[in-house]
Chain A
Amino acid sequence: MAQEPVIVADGLDLTFQTNDGAVQALRDVNLTINKGDFVSFIGPSGCGKTTFLRVVAALEHPTGGEITVNGMSPDEARRQRAYGYVFQAAGLYPWRNISKNIELPLEIMGFSKEAKREHVEKVLKLVDLEGFGEKFPWQLSGGMQQRASIARALAFDADILLMDEPFGALDEIVRDHLNEQLLELWGRTGKTIGFVTHSIPEAVYLSTRIVVMSPRPGRITDVIESTLPRERPLDIRDTPEFLEIAHRVREGLRAGHAYDD
Chain B
Amino acid sequence: MKNAFPVLVVLAAIVGLWYLAVAPMNIRTALDQAERAGAVIQPEGGRARLEVSVWRLMATNSEHISAGYDLERPRLPTPAQVGRELWKTTGEMALRGKAMSKRSLIYHASVTLKSTLWGFLLGTFLGIAGAVAIVHSRVMDMSVMPWAIISQTIPIVALAPMIIVLSSQLGIEDRGVPKAIISAYLCYFPVLVGMVKGLRAPSSSQLDLLRTYSASQWETFVKLRLPASVPYLFTSLKIGIASALVGTIVGELPTGAISGLGARILIGDQFGTPLAIWAALFAAAMLAGILVTLLDFAQRITLKRMGLEA
B203 touches A95 (CB 8 A): no
A78 contacts B by Cβ under 8 Å:
yes
A93 touches B208 (CB 8 A): no
B62 contacts A by Cβ under 8 Å:
no
Q: Which of these binds chain A: B151-159, B213-221, B290-298?
A: B213-221
Chain B positions near chain A (C-beta within 8 angstroms)? 203, 205-206, 208-215, 219, 223-224, 227, 230, 306-308, 310
Q: List 7 A-B contacts (CB under 8 A).
A: A91-B203, A94-B307, A95-B306, A95-B308, A104-B223, A105-B213, A108-B223
B205 touches A89 (CB 8 A): yes
Residues of A within 8 Å of B, CB-based: how many? 23
B307 touches A136 (CB 8 A): yes
Describe A's contact surface by its main secondary structure: loop
Give the shortest distance, in Å, between B213 (CB) and chain A (any CB).
Answer: 5
A57 contacts B by Cβ under 8 Å:
yes
* A62 to B238 alpha-carbon distance, docked (Å): 47
**Which residue of chain B lies nearest to A164 when distances are taken between CB atoms in the complex?**
B205
Q: Within the complex, which residue of A84, A93, A109, A136 is in contact with B224, where a contact is CB–CB below 8 Å?
A: A93
Give the shortest distance, in Å, between A104 (CB) and chain B (any CB).
Answer: 7
A85 touches B219 (CB 8 A): no
Chain A positions near chain B (C-beta within 8 angstroms)? 57, 59, 78-79, 83-85, 87-89, 91, 93-97, 104-105, 107-109, 136, 138
Which residues from A are CB-within-8-Å of B212? Answer: 57, 59, 78, 83-85
* A84 to B208 alpha-carbon distance, docked (Å): 12
**Which residue of chain A lies nearest to B206 when distances are taken between CB atoms in the complex?**
A91
B213 touches A94 (CB 8 A): no
* A93 to B137 alpha-carbon distance, docked (Å): 25
* A147 to B308 alpha-carbon distance, docked (Å): 21
Which residues from B are CB-within-8-Å of A88? Answer: 205
With contacts A87-B205, A104-B223, A107-B223 taken as known, whether A94 is within 8 angstroms of B308 at the C-beta atoms is: yes
A108 touches B215 (CB 8 A): yes
* A108 to B214 alpha-carbon distance, docked (Å): 8
* A89 to B205 alpha-carbon distance, docked (Å): 8
A59 touches B211 (CB 8 A): yes
**Which residue of chain B lies nearest to A88 when distances are taken between CB atoms in the complex?**
B205
* A57 to B72 alpha-carbon distance, docked (Å): 79
* A154 to B219 alpha-carbon distance, docked (Å): 20
Give the shortest distance, in Å, between A43 (CB) and chain B (any CB).
Answer: 20
A95 touches B307 (CB 8 A): yes
Beyond A87-B209, A107-B223, list 16 extra A-B contacts (CB 8 Å): A59-B208, A59-B211, A59-B212, A78-B214, A85-B212, A91-B203, A93-B227, A94-B307, A95-B227, A95-B306, A95-B307, A97-B307, A104-B223, A105-B213, A108-B210, A108-B213
* A78 to B310 alpha-carbon distance, docked (Å): 37
Q: Within the complex, which residue of A79, A93, A94, A96 is in contact with B214, where a contact is CB–CB below 8 Å?
A: A79
Q: Within the complex, which residue of B208, B209, B213, B307 is in contact with A109, where a contact is CB–CB below 8 Å?
A: B213
Which residues from A are CB-within-8-Å of B214? Answer: 78-79, 108
Which residues from B are CB-within-8-Å of A107? Answer: 223
**Which residue of chain B lies nearest to A107 when distances are taken between CB atoms in the complex?**
B223
